[in-house]
Chain A
Amino acid sequence: MSRPLRDTRAARKLFAGRALVAGVLVFLLFSVIAARLAWLQIVNHEHFATLSDQNRIRLVPVPPTRGQIFDRKGVLLAGNLASFHLEITPEQVGSHAQMEALLEQLKTLIELSDSEINRFRRLLRRSPRYNGVPLRFNLTEDEMARVAINQFRLPGVDIRNDLTRTYPLGTHMAHVVGYVGRIDEQELARLDPAEYSGSSHIGKIGVEKSYEDVLRGKVGYQQVETNAQGRVIRVLESTPPTAGRNVYLTIDSRVQRVAELALSEANFNGAIVAIDPRNGELIAMASNPSYDPNPFVNGIDAKSYKALNTSPDRPLYNRALRGMYPPGSTIKPFMGLAGLAYNAVDRYSSIFCGGYFQLPGQDHKFRDWRRGGHGRTDLDRAITESCDVYFYDLALELGIDRIGAFLGQFGFGKPTGIDLRNEKSGLLPSQDWKRRTYNQAWFPGDTVSVGIGQGYLLVTPLQLASATATLAMGGRRFQPRIVHALEDPALRRITELPAVALPSVAAPDRRIFEWVTAFMTHVVHSERGTAFRAVGKFSAYRIAGKTGTAQVFTVGQNERYDASRLKDELLDHALFMAFAPADAPRIAVAVIAENGGHGGSVAAPLAKKVMDAYLLPTNAAGAPAGASPPP
């Protein structure tokens, strides 16, 4: 047999032999199955027939209670409310025509909207006929009574009690907490059916989605006895479900509310993120505008959804996590650190700012925001007054490779790794990136723009807050986290999640962080600082911060930026990043007010409100006491 078989005849013969053996084996194995079936169906037929006749025992899944979500202080953010819903079991109704008649009959008893009936029909199509299909949720006492009285002539109609997910704070915290919704067909195809049997809902977005596995719990089973029609008569045995764990967020809902109101009262779309720099825990994460998650739980009607989805303000969009903005001048403290770290500048070296910057041998003028320039400018002054020319020059000196390497250490250009899904990574441009994306070489002018946080550089509010926290800690980094602790509801045992330290920012001399922090306090507390008039004058504690005004619209070479002539959506974004108290930081904040205009006057006061709420003692009414700007 080991003789080489090259000729086709021999090869065919070899295969024919093997195929024959395979055919015989196939026959034998099918015979084994047939014998097994005969064993079950002939020899043991009596036994199984008896079991089948007596088979009134059915296994019914009991869905677990979903874990609740609380804020840092135990304020309920997502809970379960006992409610009653009406469902119809198609099998017991009969034909299609009978179902239509039944629906008409029900309409005379309780109010049914078209969208409810449409949703019912949709669910009806994709569930087996023996399963109850929900028609109407949250029945009132009155409606329940009317259905109950008429139940004898409503075959297949049942009132069931269950727990409905509710979000008591409504629009507040919606972007953080997210919501649950009915399991859709795509999810159904992906899920382990055993784990989700009996459950109709699943976390769709936010903490509800990211912590789905923790919140869900474990399904239980009941062994029930049924009558011949399959109706449950009694419960025989049960394996109770294990309730999902409760989740405590790091967010303080009081501070969160202040952040949300700061944006919404000033009528800005935008985001505020506040982080505890000492451990990376988020104190607030606001995105304005927001939406009410409650209608999503049992299926939002198409019209409302369309309104939310097509609104130009994009309320469903979590700007804090997914918005990508040019950081503008808020990047300058980091650029300053890069200059010091690479010895491109020292603390006292200065340049002359004449109001614009030109690349050698080029006509293009990179303008400073102050037309006349800042004169002789060192790093302190460049940060305090936000001199652009200093940073144009510094960026060119550093080059994009070193800028990228240094800023990357603060987490720019990468997801921060926060425990929420779908985080955007911002954009830290590089030569390689530009070649891949635009098939173009990197020009020195590209580097110059990056120096003042314009050009290709994009950051998310979360990244900016996290980087600010890192700066505040002298380069020590922590991964941002939104969940503080998990609680086992049965044992009432709370497990705190540990802070996750990330690699520190490499710097030859740790004092560069102290220097830049000092310069940032000048931004707020020195009379020349860009945030002095709006914030520093009234502050009860020392703040280190940096304003930013990011261009959305490119002003022509010989034109001036004139806000009154621009449409709202082309106005500059106002930004502010800060931490406080400057000498022992407990909170780091990033604010982005879309099309808000100037960072110092617009964004900085919003950040101050959030820091006040967190740092100052609260009076009985919950509003922070202490200094505040005069009305």
Chain B
Amino acid sequence: MSPYAFQDAPLHDREAPRPRLLARVHLDAPLLLGLLAVAAIGLVVLYSASLQDLESVIRQGTRLGLGFVVLIVLAQVPPTLLRTWTPALYAIGNLLLVAVLLVGDHSMGAQRWLDLGFVRFQPSEIMKIAVPLMLAWHFADKQLPPRVPHLLVGAVIAGVPFVLIAKQPDLGTGLVVFSAGLFALFLGGMSWKIIFGLIAAIAAVAPVFWEYGMREYQRQRVRTLFDPEADPLGAGYHIIQSKIAIGSGGLYGKGWLNGTQSHLEFLPESHTDFILGTFAEEFGLIGVCILLVLYFLIVARALRLAAGAGDTYGRIAGGTLALVFFFYAFVNTGMVSGILPVVGVPLPLVSYGGTSLVTIMAGFGILMSLHFHRRRVGH
């Protein structure tokens, strides 16, 4: 095996035989299987976490179905078209974010929704896709590794929506968008010197951000992380209860529908952000590890598909989308198990709720399109 396992993009590079049925409709079977497996686990856990409310499960199943439809449709969109429209999508996304801040209903706390009359949605969701695409668009025709001015432009592309979203305030989504920027810079080939320099700089800036950049409730969340027992009735309650849920599950778990933490209402948000607690309680370490392995396989497969895309745009866009998915899974599992602050990021494809689910599926749809259309692009 060559050390660059990804270098020889495997699927149709050589004198490929007739592409398989799925490949002809630009879909990747292993990735689809992985997503379906996680989605299935999600529905099973949801049935228990929602206290056997079949209606919730059906609703979530419908959303998943919709998500897969979005994936399949987007996989058919040729990347050239996608690339042409990328700046427009990015610009519209930013305009909508500004609109949310302006039209916002300020006494109600966070304002994240835009009401268009017939449909309500969170413009920040668009940015989870638009920022990776825009960064890829930006780096696509530059020399790689990118020079410093190009890196700075890249930072602005990710920074503007981050600030707009963080102002709503929705730190969780803001971080997802910001991380997309970092991933794109990394995949674009930013030099290691700069990477380590940035890490050092962040370590230096963090205390300033703590003092001036964060809202009090966000600081509270971080403080609670390091000492949940200090606020057992308030913010620490989530973490204490979710640790009990996970820990009491042991190696094999208490069995499906037998979790007490979630069923007796000790575990808050047991079917949304903290659904991993329910899962770990009922299915134990073995169950959670299977889930983690599935997540890893999905990310690895997605990276590999990205590496096989036809051009720089496709590679960076696809790779960033893959890593954003990882970011979701990592931040959520980290916060529920108590090693990351509670920032309100759902467990991808498992947490109950529709908006981020559709965005994630859309991302994978685009990824498949970038990979499977490459031959025509190349010729």
Chain A residues at the B interface, C-beta cutoff of 8 Å: 1-2, 4-6, 8, 11-20, 22-23, 26-27, 29-30, 32-34, 36-38, 40-42, 44-45, 47-49, 51-53, 55, 58-59, 91, 125, 128-130, 186-187, 189-192, 195, 212-213, 221, 223, 226, 230, 237, 239
Contacts and interface: CB of A to CB of B under 8 A. Distances in A.
Contacts of A189: 113, 120
Given A16-B7, A19-B303, A55-B260, A223 B265 contact: no
Interface stretch (B22-30, B202-210, B333-341): B333-341
- Select the residue from A44, A55, A191 with max chain B CB neighbours within 10 A: A55
B166 interface: no
A40 B7 contact: no
B334 to A, nearest CB: 6
B109 A37 contact: no
Pairs of residues from A and B, 6 with the lowest C-beta to C-beta distance, nearest first: A48-B247, A52-B248, A16-B6, A40-B247, A192-B109, A41-B285
B15 interface: no
B109 A195 contact: yes
B4 A33 contact: no
Given A15-B316, A48-B248, A52-B245, A20 B5 contact: yes
Contacts of B183: 22
Contacts of B315: 11-12, 15
A48 B244 contact: yes
Contacts of B260: 52, 55
B246 A48 contact: yes
29 contacts: A1-B191, A2-B145, A5-B143, A8-B311, A13-B4, A14-B144, A14-B189, A15-B315, A17-B4, A18-B188, A18-B189, A19-B187, A19-B303, A20-B6, A22-B323, A23-B300, A34-B292, A37-B288, A40-B337, A41-B249, A45-B251, A48-B243, A49-B247, A129-B52, A189-B120, A190-B105, A190-B112, A195-B109, A230-B264
B250 A45 contact: yes
B326 interface: yes
Given A5-B144, A15-B187, A221 B233 contact: yes
Interface of B: 4-7, 9, 50-53, 55, 105, 107-113, 120, 143-145, 183, 186-189, 191, 233-234, 237, 243-251, 260-261, 264-266, 280, 284-285, 288-289, 292, 295-296, 299-300, 303-304, 306-307, 311-312, 315-316, 319, 323, 326, 329-330, 333-334, 337-339
Contact of B233 (A27, A34, A36, A223): A223
Contact of A42 (B143, B189, B234, B250): B250
B141 to A, nearest CB: 10
Given A19-B306, A130-B51, A55 B244 contact: yes
A27 B285 CA distance: 17
A14 B7 contact: no
Given A20-B4, A23-B303, A191 B108 contact: yes
A20 B266 CA distance: 41
Given A26-B300, A34-B292, A41-B280, 19 more contacts: A5-B143, A8-B311, A12-B9, A19-B303, A26-B326, A27-B300, A30-B330, A33-B337, A36-B339, A40-B338, A53-B248, A55-B260, A128-B53, A129-B52, A190-B105, A190-B108, A190-B111, A191-B109, A226-B264
Contacts of A129: 51-53
A19 B120 contact: no
Nearest to A17: B4
A52 B285 contact: no
Contacts of A237: 233
Contacts of B186: 18, 22
A16 B305 CA distance: 11
Residue among A8, A16, A17, A19 with the highest chain B CB neighbour number at 10 A: A19
B233 A52 contact: no
Nearest to A209: B107
B44 to A, nearest CB: 18
A350 B364 CA distance: 79
Nearest to A186: B120
A44 B247 contact: yes
B302 to A, nearest CB: 10
A524 B129 CA distance: 68
Contact of A30 (B233, B243, B266, B295): B295
Contacts of B112: 190
Contact of B299 (A11, A20, A23): A23
Given A19-B307, A55-B264, A239 B246 contact: no
A38 to B, nearest CB: 6
Contacts of A190: 105, 108-113
Q: Which one of A51, A186, A189 has the greatest number of beta carbons of chain B within 10 Å?
A: A51
A477 B139 CA distance: 57
A125 B307 CA distance: 47
Which residue, A22, A36, A129, has most C-beta atoms of chain B within 10 A? A22
A20 B323 CA distance: 12
Contacts of A11: 144, 312, 315
Given A4-B143, A22-B323, A128-B51, A30 B189 contact: no
Nearest to B50: A128
Given A13-B4, A48-B244, A18 B266 contact: no
Contact of B7 (A4, A13, A22, A195): A13
A34 B330 CA distance: 11
A443 to B, nearest CB: 34
